Each structure stands twice: as C-alpha cells, then as structure tokens.
Structure 1
C-alpha cells in the first residue's frame, strides 16, 4: 500500500467515509468534499468484497464462542487492513494525497448491540487504520450516545436530514442487514429508528438453500408465494415489532436462530424454501410499512438506500405495502450504495467541528452529544 504524503496541510473539506454493514458482504467507501452550506460532492467511491474467511469470522463473532477476545482483535485488525485498501483505492482514483484528507470516519463492524444493557460493540482497529493510512481516524460513533442513555442507533438521520430534507413528508429508508428509517417533515423534529430485518434473513436463507450470497433482484422469492399465516405468526410472535421508538436492533435478535425457531413453531404445512423466501421479503416490506404508517402517516414518498435498493423484487414489495412512491436515493443525487459511507464522512466532519450529531429525538439519549473518538495519524 502506497500512501503519498507530500508536504502540505489537510483540506478542511475533504473526508473519507468507510462502512461495513450488518450484511457483512463488503466495505463501501467514499472520498467526499463536504463544504458547509453546499451539497456533498463525492470525488471517488470504492466497494471491496469482504474476504470469505473474514466474513465467516465476523458472523461467528456475533455469537458467544471460544477465545473471543483474541479472535475479535485479529478480525478487527484484518478489517482495518481492508479499510486501508479501500482508502488507498479512493485516493488513487481521485488523485489526492493522504495529507489532503482531514479525517476518515470508520464505523467498524457491529457484533453486539445491547443498549438495553448499556453497551454496543463495533469491531475496529482505528489506531492501526491511522497508522496504515497516515490520516486521522474518527471511530466509535455509538458509545457516547449509549453512555447518555440512548440507543446509539440509527446514526444516519441527521445526515439524511441535511442532504435529503424536503418541503413535505419524506422517509429515507436504509436497507442493509437491518432496516432503519428516517422521517423528515417541515417544522418537525428529525425522527428515525430501526424497523426490523432487511437483508439479514433474505441473504441468510438464500445462502442456506441456494449457496448464493443473496437473492439477486428477488428472483428466487418470485418463484414462491407469500404465506399469510406464516407472516402473521412471525409478526405476532416478536414483541420488538410493537415497541415504540426510539428503538434499534441487530443480529443479537434477528438471526437465523430466530427464523428457525419460528419455522419449527409454525402449525401449518411445512413451507417450501421459496415460499419462505417470498414471505421473508414481505416481512421486510410489511414491517417497514407498519413503522412508517404508525409514526408518520403523512409521508408522501420513500427513498431507499443500502444494498436492498438494488433488489427489484423487494422494491416492488415495498411499493405494494407502502402504497406510496418508492425510489432509490439515486433520484435525489446520491447513489444508494454510497449513502452510508457518505454519512460516516459527514459524521467524522461533525466530530472534527465538534457538532452534536447524536439526536435525543432519534436515540432517546438524555441530550445531544458529540459522537466519535479521534485516533490521530
């Protein structure tokens, strides 16, 4: 890895954002110019696949296991090296030296999220990332909000408001492993919360039965049929769906054991795998629609980002359940796959400028907080 660092000072507007989400399928990164009062300008973007051995280890670390501390530290180092590769690709693509970048915002990989017990764990090695890149790193965005009694998630609503605000009711829906929504309306406080599973089940079930990483465009789901009794059992059997915001979740709750236990308890005929996939797709769309209808019935349109925005079948299901226009954030000028990485560049800038990006109306914290911790180069 070659990071060019000629003499000079960082451009106060240049930030890198790096994101590896609950789907654990890869790392997305952006190099962006963030000038106050102007729309973000993405100068370069990169997406690196998650190496299969690292992916398996990160997924395994979501559950208790032997020698967890050493395994987690080694996985964090491997992830930081992947982040550094993404950073190198961004700098090379943009023709920009590392010394010109003010900071990297790197969220890390969430392996535990238990704000109800006062903690959240994101595997990351930001000191190593700073060492490898020669760029200041801002990381650990959730823990300050959790310390203030908040959920520590979702983190992106203030960024969504800054970039996607509208003169009418609008929702911005992120479909990663878990779905979260930001509700925007003129004259109202920014609101946002997790709605439940998105790709975590769709990918996991597809991997189990087809050996494929995901159900491209929902084509496998399209061969099955939605089983209404199974869908209703899933929703009725999970108290989390009925909790009011603020709320957040992750693989601690929505994992394949959750799905297996409910399939075992289903009192109807054993469903075909493709019917389960179709019903899982409807589960994501239905729980999103329930959440938006319950919290912001005046929402006129929904813009989708994250990997799920590329699933044509899921997008059709969302339009059916929401009965509103559903479009990717590309239509607002930010490609769906870049939104979360861009959000962490924005959050890094908020930390550097000491702006409070933790919103009590979103997370339930006792007050707005500055989010993140600095690891100097």
Structure 2
C-alpha cells in the first residue's frame, strides 16, 4: 500500500507555495507530483511588512494566516487533481507556514520562532490531517529550531564513499554536511544557516529592475564585485559565530544592506548585485570549507540552484578554499541526484510529516544544538 504525504513550503523568498505529493512506501521517497502557486502581491506585501514591528500586527497576522491556509488548500487541491488522487488517500500534510520572526535563545534564554499559519483551517478546507509548527519543539529543547532539513538530506543523499554537502539556497542559505558513512564510526551530520541567499538578491533586484528575481544571475554577472563593500558585509558577526546557528530576515534585510551602502553611496546597482552574489557564494563556500575540508560533492537546491552565476562563483570559491584542482569538487543542482531543486524543501516537509505520524524523531542535536532528538510538529486532525 502507498503511504502518501503532501509537503507544503513557503520560503523566506516569499515567491509562492511549493507543493509535492510524496510516496514513502518504498526505501526512498517517490515524488508523484509537484506544483507551484504564486503568492498574490498583497499577501507577499503583508508578509514583508510583518517581518518588522508595525501597527496592529496581531490582527494582520491572523488574517494573513487565514489567507495562507486558503492558498495552501488551493495548492493541495490542484496537486491532487494533477495526480489523480483524493484527499482520503493522503495521510497528512506537512505545512511549515511563513516565518516572520526567528529568535532562538534570545531575550529569555529560550527565545521563540513564529510562523504565520492556520493549520486548523487548512485541515478543515482540505479534509486531510495537517502537521505544522515544526520548529518550536526543538527550540523548547534548547535548539535553534533550524535548519530542519539536514536529517532529510542525510536520508536521501548520504554516501559511503564520499563526504557530501547539501547547500540550500532559498531566501537564506543553509548547509547540511553529510560525512562519509562508516557505520558506528560515522561522525555526526552537521547543519546550519550560513548567511543570506535570495532574500537580499531578490529584494535588490526588485528595487532597481522591477523584476521579481535576477533570472540566471545575468544582472549580477554584468556587474563588478566591490571589494570594500564585500569585506564590510563579511564583518557581520553572524558569519563568525560557531554552529549550531540560524538566521532569517530578522537580520538580513534591505535596511541591513542600506546601512552598509551608506559608506559606499556611489556603487552602481549592478555592482551591488554582483557583490551580494559574491557574499552568498563566499559565505557558503567558507562554511563548507571550515567544517568539511574533505567535501567532494556539493548538491545545491532551492531557487538559487538555477542561478548559473552563483553556481560558478561557488565553484571557484570552493576550489580556492579547499585547495582542490579544477573538477575535484563537483557542484551540481539536486536535479542530478533525483529531486528537482525547487521541490526539495517541499519533499522535506512531507518527510517531516511522515516522521511525525510515525512518532519518529526528526531533529538531531548535532544540527540544532538541542538537548536531544525530538518528534517535531503538532497534529491537526481533519
């Protein structure tokens, strides 16, 4: 019998909903279908505003949660129609929600994380059990609550013959470091956020070109890296913090960029884009090189995997930092390893829902720093 789950992902880039239908009845997850539903402009604007303190936040956040649940339900129905399935055949939906605050360990020692969501409404609209609120249990156990995907990456891409890095370039960049599998002697998997990715690139592109994102990285490739600005941004204390660590739009946003640009007012917009791309590439490469010098393969997922300029800059920085001859470090989109880059995180949330239903831990202390592995999420029955 098939074991069907739906994963829903809305990332920091605020571009839309990725939905996948996944079968977990075999040894490896099998993706049966995938769709993307774009965010309406007004909902994207609301979530952008909610990333910063503002007037009447609770009311606006509650209505945004309702709107997101309806968009999720629309995506679920379209996905089921595409795959020829019914709601009764799906065991659960994994719905992460839209993160608007992420403050682990802050303020009172525990901190908090906040994802706008309305899983009860989604369960009502879809007729399917919903698993949501994946981060808070890990934070309650002393962890960062993020990144959530390294255990999933290890389950599908761990190798016995090589150390693999999985680099997710969504709004924020995070990396999973999968050591060569050696039975009981395998070192722990590491995973952490390593800096900004598409969130700054997309926002800067929208401000100056009106385009939602820099397709293929062509605009960045047309500019020149400003070394002074790059070195100044790399002084951000987050980059030097030891793992486990996580971040988000709470830190890396346009105001953060504008503060750095105040010292360099004459830089051309294309040169700023080139510098932001280099910031993403070099901070990602440094994270891999610092923790896993023996890495031989880097699997890139998320929207950034389709940015050819970013991939080229990552390759060059890795070869410089790892000291390998050209070609020894293979940088590939996850498409080449069986899951298209834009689907990986949605599949991961289907996997997290599957683990929750089985009451199996899905967080690892080596990744988040929590006191122990935990079953993640809360169940909202249909």
TM above 0.5, yes or no, is yes
1:47 is aligned, of 36, 46, 57, to 36
Q: C-alpha deviations, 1:225-270, integer Å up to 9, x for none?
A: 011121111102x11100010000000000101100011134xx72
Calculate the TM-score normalised by the size of structure 1.
Answer: 0.95
Give the aligned partner of residue 314 of structure 1: 310
Give the aligned partner of residue 325 of structure 2: none
Distance 2:39 2:216 in 1: 21
Distance 1:14 1:197 in 2: 33
Are the equivalent residues in 2 in contact too, given 1:12–1:101 (CA < 8 A)?
no
C-alpha deviation, 1:300, in angstroms: 0.7
Give the aligned partner of residue 175 of structure 2: 181
Distance 1:198 1:321 in 2: 16
SS in 2 for 1:265: coil
The unaligned stretches of length 5 or more in structure 2 are: 320-328
Are the equivalent residues in 2 in contact too, given 1:357–1:368 (CA < 8 A)?
yes
Give the aligned partner of residue 89 of structure 2: 100
Give the aligned partner of residue 197 of structure 2: 198
Give the aligned partner of residue 339 of structure 2: 334
C-alpha deviation, 1:116, in angstroms: 2.2
Give the aligned partner of residue 261 of structure 2: 263
Confirm whether residue 30 of structure 1 aligns to residue 20 of structure 2. Answer: yes
Distance 1:370 1:190 in 2: 18
Distance 1:371 1:12 in 2: 23
Give the aligned partner of residue 296 of structure 2: 300
SS in 1 for 2:207: helix
Give the aligned partner of residue 5 of structure 1: none
Calculate the TM-score normalised by the size of structure 2.
Answer: 0.94
2:130 is aligned, of 132, 137, 149, to 137
Distance 1:311 1:332 in 2: 18
Give the aligned partner of residue 6 of structure 1: none
Are the equivalent residues in 2 in contact too, given 1:150–1:360 (CA < 8 A)?
yes
Confirm whether residue 165 of structure 1 aligns to residue 158 of structure 2. Answer: yes
Matches within 5 A, 1:224-263: 224-236=223-235, 238-263=236-261
Confirm whether residue 70 of structure 1 aligns to residue 59 of structure 2. Answer: yes
Confirm whether residue 207 of structure 1 aligns to residue 206 of structure 2. Answer: yes
1:373 is aligned, of 355, 378, 381, to 378
SS in 1 for 2:37: strand
Confirm whether residue 155 of structure 1 aligns to residue 148 of structure 2. Answer: yes
The unaligned stretches of length 5 or more in structure 1 are: 1-10
Give the aligned partner of residue 99 of structure 2: 110
SS in 1 for 2:342: helix
1:274 is aligned, of 259, 270, 277, to 270
C-alpha deviation, 1:99, in angstroms: 0.3
Are the equivalent residues in 2 in contact too, given 1:12–1:102 (CA < 8 A)?
no
> Following superposition, which runs of at least 4 residues in structure 1 exceed 4 angstroms of deviation?
none
Distance 2:75 2:158 in 1: 29
Give the aligned partner of residue 90 of structure 1: 79
Q: C-alpha deviations, 1:54-80, integer Å up to 9, x for none?
A: 000011000001010010000011011
SS in 2 for 1:135: coil
C-alpha deviation, 1:35, in angstroms: 2.1
SS in 1 for 2:300: strand
SS in 1 for 2:234: helix
Distance 1:310 1:48 in 2: 18
Q: C-alpha deviations, 1:158-185, integer Å up to 9, x for none?
A: 0000011112110001000000000001
Give the aligned partner of residue 128 of structure 1: 121
SS in 2 for 1:220: helix
Q: C-alpha deviations, 1:287-333, integer Å up to 9, x for none?
A: 00111111111111100000101111111111111122210011111
